[in-house]
Structure 1
Amino acid sequence: MRHLSACHEGTVATISVDTLRAALARRDGRSAASRARTAAALNSFLTWAVRHDLLVANPLVKLDRVQVPEPAPRGVTRAAIDAILATIPRDQLRDQLLFRMLAETGLRISEALQLEVDDLDLTPDDEHLHVLGKRGQRRTVLLDAPQLVRLLRRYLKAMQARHGPLFRPLKNGDGLLLQYQTLQERWARYCATAGVVCTLHQLRHSHATALVQAGVSLATIRKRLGHKHIQTTLRYAEQSDTAADAELRARRRHQR
């Protein structure tokens, strides 16, 4: 509250919009998160003052809220992901496929769990998934990782199902969807075994980041991930100098 007291010598009842504007201006130059915390502290105090009849109304509501940028998505390294996948026993074919699919395609967890066998197009060298995304939007996702495709074919052969959910509970799972909680628990177990801290959603972030670093266009990444707005995809677009240079060199070679 020192920022408020430095700008106001009167009683609580005389705190005005201008007073608050001056108090917040003292935080200019600090991060948006820091300024937002200051505003939140002022708001708590002013709300308390109104509740105790020390102030008629909270003048802070007349000022624009401090906009805190959403933090950039955080992924994990490919080496860390591979270390986790390596801990999955060979006889746990479903888990091997599901977690590798999340890592290699960037699917949302809900999208993977909703996949049906009929959503697969296994045309040789052109394998795809037909994915039901947010807001009922459908998109096609290329399966361009050979190891993933081989694992998928093995899984389908072992499962011996032509229709219904692709990923099912291990016991009495015919026609039933695998539950999100079960998936989370099994992933956490594999992460603990590998000694790696990684959430399932970070697999999606890591995939998007890898695509950016490989020079894939934002339009293509947006379509693959099923983003409604390009601004969402732009959060991944802080390319490294190496990735940017590689894209420019490739374009120059193409023009020759």
Structure 2
Amino acid sequence: MHYRRYLKRKNYSNHTIKNYLNRLKHFLVWLPVPVELAEPVHVKHYIDTLLEKRLGPQTINGHLVAIRSFYYYLQDEEELEVANPAVRGLALRLPDPLPRHLQGHQVAALFSAITKKRDLAMFMLMLRCGLRVEEVANLTLGAIDYGRNQIMVRCGKGAKDRIVFINIDAADVLAAYLQIRPSTPEQRIFLVEKGMYKGKPISVRGIQKRIEYYSRKSGVPVSCHQLRHTMATELLNAGADVVTLQYLLGHRRIKTTMRYARLSNQKARNDYYLSMTKVEEKSGTTVTWNVRC
């Protein structure tokens, strides 16, 4: 399909291309008129249909992006004189909740419930290195550089490569898993350990099912992405720079990383008192209050 090649030329990841094609398929099956006759009113009705299916605003906006991209393709590549029905202004307003992270006692409770060396290594990479679940699933043996204590994350979100650093506790549990990992030509690190797919790379959904299992076992409500949120929050509270965190997390926009800065109230507290101390030292005065009881 030419549209698939069009998306590949834009350097979209395979995951993104799959989502675009799937969302476009649903729209074209629903569309009551030929593709070239679609108008904004049709897209509005389609949004209503998705809302009736109880899809969230972010998911629905993803459908709009896929539809809009397809019509750009028709205009630019196929040179068809068609209007793009997915006009600007149709997107749903998104809530802006703060990222949820784990408290120290929750981290301890969760990891005390993890007994498998493979699972411990997977989730420590999320907690200490900030890897996404897809990045853990696709991690290969050649990406680990123990000499430099770093990991090359290839084709992360947005098909971008980046280097992350591995702390000693994460390095130790990863090394412990690699010692018992079956010898196999498969380069991806984390493998299925039983069943008909034994020895095959574990899937993203397989990893998510493991964290769901440990969440029930430990009584800690947690997802894979919350481990990444926890790393980001802990680094900011410890004084890490937002730009550094942006690089480590692989965020394209600093605005995304700044959401963690809003959450990092401990850093704000520390910065406030440190700065206020400097203000007082510079002015040479300390304000005191005469309060009558």
Q: TM-score range by the shorter chain?
A: 0.5 to 0.7
**Alpha-carbon spacing, 1:239–1:205, altered in 2? closer, same or farther (3 Å):** closer
| Alignment partner, residue 48 of structure 1 | none
Aligned mates of 1:219, 1:240 — CA distance in 2: 15
Q: Deviations over 1:38-76 (max 9, x none)?
A: xxxxxxxxxxxxxxxxxxxxxxxxx99895552121112
Q: Which runs of 5+ in 2 are unaligned?
A: 1-88, 279-293
- With normalisation by structure 1, the TM-score equals 0.65
Amino acid at match of 1:76: L
Does 2:215 align with 1:218? no
Provide the aligned C-alpha RMSD in A.
Answer: 2.9
Does structure 2 conserve the Cα–Cα contact (< 8 Å) formed by 1:117 and 1:163? no
1:147 and 2:169 correspond: yes
Matched, 1:102 2:126: yes
Shift of the 66–99 alpha-carbon distance from structure 1 to 2, 3 Å rule, reads closer
Q: In structure 1, the residue corresponding to 2:162 is in which secondary structure?
A: strand
How does the TM-score come out when normalised to structure 2?
0.57
Verify the 8 A CA contact 2:127 2:227 in the aligned structure 1. Answer: yes
Q: Within 1, Cα distance between the matches of 2:219 and 2:120? A: 18
Equivalence for 1:4: none
Structure 1 equivalent of residue 231 of structure 2: 207
Counterpart mapping for 1:109-124 below 5 A: 109-123=133-147
C-alpha change, 1:197 and 1:69, in structure 2 (3 Å) is closer
Distance 1:79 1:66, change over 3 A: same
Match of 1:127 in 2: 149
1:119-161 CA-to-partner distances (Å, cap 9, x unmatched) read 00001xx3111002112210000002x2211111222222264
Partner residue of 1:185? 209
- Counterpart pick for 1:86 among 112, 121, 125: 112
2:189 to 166, 174, 177: 166
Instruction: Report the Cα offset of residue 208 of structure 1.
Output: 0.9
Give the CA deviation at 1:205.
1.1
In structure 2, the CA distance between the partners of 1:227 and 1:240, relative to structure 1 (3 Å rule), is: closer
Q: Which moved more, 1:160-169 or 1:219-228?
A: 160-169
What secondary structure, in the 3-state scheme, does the structure 2 residue paired with 1:235 have?
helix
**Post-superposition shift, 1:203?**
0.9
Show the counterpart of 1:70. Answer: 96
* Runs of 4+ that moved beyond 6 A: 63-66
Structure 1: which 5+ runs fail to align? 1-62
SS in 2 for 1:72: coil
Displacement of 1:78 after TM fit?
2.6
CA distance in 2, matches of 1:134, 1:77: 27
Aligned amino acid, residue 126 of structure 2: L
Identity %: 28
Larger Rg computed on CA atoms: 1
User: Are the counterparts in 1 of residues 98 and 263 from structure 2 also a CA contact under 8 Å?
Assistant: no
CA distance in 1, matches of 2:251, 2:179: 33
- Asked if the contact 1:115–1:131 (Cα under 8 Å) also holds between the matched residues in 2, the reply is yes
Distance 1:65 1:192, change over 3 A: closer
SS of the aligned residue for 2:152 comes to strand
> What's the counterpart of residue 51 of structure 1?
none
Q: Is the 8 A contact 1:215 1:247 kept in 2?
A: no
d(CA) in 1 for partners of 2:91 and 2:132? Answer: 31
Q: Which amino acid aligns with 2:259?
A: R
